[in-house]
């Protein structure tokens, strides 16, 4: 056919095709007759006519936009070269125009007037505050295995426990005991757990003790380990520390219990992990470890350098570091000197460890801690490109945001490069609100950066954002069960508080009566 000629352009081919159609039918009436529509009422014929006109105009507009927008040209270039010409966000960032030399020189001159920010590889006070609290199990285990007939050892052991840890542990454990569901007898061995609360008269002959416990209705008791769920819940509850909200402690304790008591293997794993690394924040898919040079430097460099590792293919390291102030790095020591490991006092950083493979997959950093105004800035996780949007990344942010609000912060914000599409999607998935764009906000790698500011308020988190992420991570059924258990525990705690208050009033009345009788 004449319109199949390869030398003709696309537009010429369309003209030839339309000319063939008109030559075949001659007129609109002939066209309608060919389709059996000649006898239709005039109004319907005009309707069909205008419909055809709209269709032709739409097709023409689309084809015109394809020509004008260069889509056909890019398709042809991609066919010729085998490469797409549409730039990725990282490539677009790399081609961003650099600042003028006079501006860079002025910046260096003005920065020299101020002392350098004090940075350190040690844990900052913010990092220490956010870590889980736990007793020094190694020191306690050594004391437990020694004979103690004087009772002085209990006081020595208390020196290795954080403030209020024992009280919170015992309160959570007794709350589990008071749940109905059938009475069981449990035997605890110090050789397995390394530490149990002093209030349970741990230090008996051969380091064992017996007492009655009640099965909770929140999960299946592990066979042979009827006490496992009670210990795990109490351990998670007490690990949050005495300064977080009671609602958060209960929720974290339930989540920790569900993760640890899924099987005997999981129970063994997390008991050993609690002995070795009790300060880690535990999630179902990821675990947060305070970032340390000796423990995490080499692993973090390997997974973010772009080099192939294990089952992961090689990738462009600019996909990780293109929008950040440092990186990619030539070696691990260069990363060590960067912002990743050199922290200011108002910053904290954590390594993201995969929950199954136990491998480091990235890091997350908190900056600009402002306790005066109860606000914090969270940087998006530094993670491998193929893990963008994964549950490990989402849970990492969830665990930190939840803990920050539990400590009393009112606002958490994220500042994202306006060209970083993937991180903007993450902020949206987390439920953050886009509050605006700050033009020429920063100078990153000698180029100007516009920043999109996303914010999350404690009221928004409580009203729905937390529940939305919880459902994404753990499912609708888990969220419903968590809400039911929260209502039950809140009711139980309120009842317990009321009974204790009533008991104190009765004791005060009795003491007052005795005083009057004595007088």
pLDDT tens for residues 159-169? 778 888 888 88
- Give the pLDDT of residue 37: 66
pLDDT tens for residues 17-33? 667 666 666 666 666 66
Q: Which two tokens stand for residue 353?
A: 């460890």
DSSP 8-class letter at 87:
P
- Give the pLDDT of residue 187: 27
How far is the C-alpha of 287 from the C-alpha of 387, rounded, in Å? 15
pLDDT tens for residues 389-432? 999 999 999 999 999 999 999 999 999 999 999 999 999 999 99
- Give the pLDDT of residue 83: 58
CA angle 258, 263, 269 (to 5 degrees): 85
Q: What is the DSSP string of 367-380?
A: EEEETTTTEEEEPP
* Average per-residue pLDDT for the chain: 81
- Give the pLDDT of residue 196: 47
Is 183 in a helix, a strand, or coil? Answer: strand
Integer-rounded Cα Rg, in Å, for the chain is 33
Q: With beta carbons less than 8 A apart as the criterion, state whether 226 and 186 touch.
A: yes
What are the C-alpha distances in Å from 280 to residues 283, 286, 399, 469?
A: 10, 10, 11, 21
- Give the pLDDT of residue 29: 67
Q: With beta carbons less than 8 A apart as the criterion, state whether 297 and 341 touch.
A: yes
Q: What is the dihedral of CA 515, 516, 517, 519, to 10 degrees?
A: 90
Q: Which two tokens stand for residue 339?
A: 């912002």
Q: What is the DSSP string of 129-155?
A: HHS-----HHHHHHHHTS--SSSTHHH
Half-sphere exposure (CA, 13 Å, Cβ side) for 454? 19
Determine what percent of the chain falls in helix, strand and coil, rounding each to the nearest 5.
55, 15, 30
How many CB atoms lie under 10 A from the CB of residue 30? 12
Low-confidence ranges of the chain (pLDDT < 70): 1-11, 13-15, 17-18, 20-38, 68-86, 137-157, 178-220, 519
Let me know how long the chain is.
519
How far is the C-alpha of 181 from the C-alpha of 404, rounded, in Å? 35
């Amino acid at each position: 056919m004449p319109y199949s000629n390869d030398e003709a352009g696309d537009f010429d081919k369309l003209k030839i095709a339309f000319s063939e159609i008109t030559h075949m039918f001659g007129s609109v009436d002939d066209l309608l007759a060919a389709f059996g529509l000649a006898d239709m009422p005039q109004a319907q014929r005009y309707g069909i006519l205008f419909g055809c006109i709209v269709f032709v105009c739409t097709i023409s507009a689309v084809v015109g936009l394809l020509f004008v927008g260069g889509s056909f040209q890019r398709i042809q270039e991609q066919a010729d070269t085998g490469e797409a010409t549409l730039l990725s966000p990282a490539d677009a960032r790399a081609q961003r125009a650099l600042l003028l030399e006079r501006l860079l020189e002025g910046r260096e001159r003005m920065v020299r007037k101020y002392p350098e920010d004090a940075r350190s590889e040690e844990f900052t006070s913010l990092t220490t505050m956010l870590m889980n609290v736990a007793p020094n199990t190694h020191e306690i285990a050594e004391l437990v295995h020694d004979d103690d007939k004087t009772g002085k050892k209990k006081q020595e052991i208390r020196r290795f426990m954080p403030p209020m840890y024992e009280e919170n542990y015992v309160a959570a454990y007794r709350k589990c005991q008071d749940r109905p569901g059938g009475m069981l007898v449990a035997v605890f061995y110090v050789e397995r757990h390394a530490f149990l609360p002093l209030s349970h008269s741990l230090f008996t002959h051969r380091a064992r003790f017996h007492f009655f416990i009640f099965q909770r209705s929140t999960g299946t008791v592990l066979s042979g380990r009827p006490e496992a769920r009670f210990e795990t819940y109490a351990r998670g509850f007490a690990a949050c520390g005495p300064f977080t909200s009671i609602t958060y402690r209960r929720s974290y304790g339930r989540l920790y219990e569900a993760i640890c008591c899924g099987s005997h293997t999981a129970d063994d794993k997390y008991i050993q992990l609690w002995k070795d690394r009790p300060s880690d924040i535990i999630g179902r898919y990821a675990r947060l470890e305070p970032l340390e040079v000796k423990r995490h430097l080499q692993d973090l460099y390997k997974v973010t350098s772009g080099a192939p590792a294990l089952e992961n293919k090689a990738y462009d390291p600019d996909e990780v570091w293109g929008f950040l102030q440092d990186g990619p790095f030539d070696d691990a020591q260069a990363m060590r000197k960067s912002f990743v490991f050199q922290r200011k006092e108002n910053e904290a950083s954590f390594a993201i460890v995969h929950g199954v493979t136990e491998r480091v997959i990235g890091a997350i950093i908190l900056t600009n801690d402002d306790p005066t105004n109860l606000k914090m800035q969270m940087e998006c996780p530094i993670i491998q490109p193929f893990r963008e949007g994964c549950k490990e990344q989402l849970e990492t942010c969830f665990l930190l945001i939840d803990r920050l609000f539990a400590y009393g912060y009112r606002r958490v914000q994220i500042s994202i490069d306006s060209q970083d599409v993937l991180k903007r999607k993450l902020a949206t998935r987390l439920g953050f609100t886009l509050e605006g764009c700050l033009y020429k906000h920063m100078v990153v790698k000698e180029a100007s950066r516009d920043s999109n500011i996303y914010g999350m308020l404690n009221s928004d988190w409580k009203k729905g954002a937390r529940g939305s992420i919880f459902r994404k991570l753990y499912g609708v059924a888990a969220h419903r069960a968590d809400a039911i258990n929260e209502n039950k525990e809140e009711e139980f705690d309120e009842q317990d508080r009321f009974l204790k208050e009533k008991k104190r009033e009765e004791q005060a009345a009795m003491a007052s009566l005795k005083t009057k009788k004595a007088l």
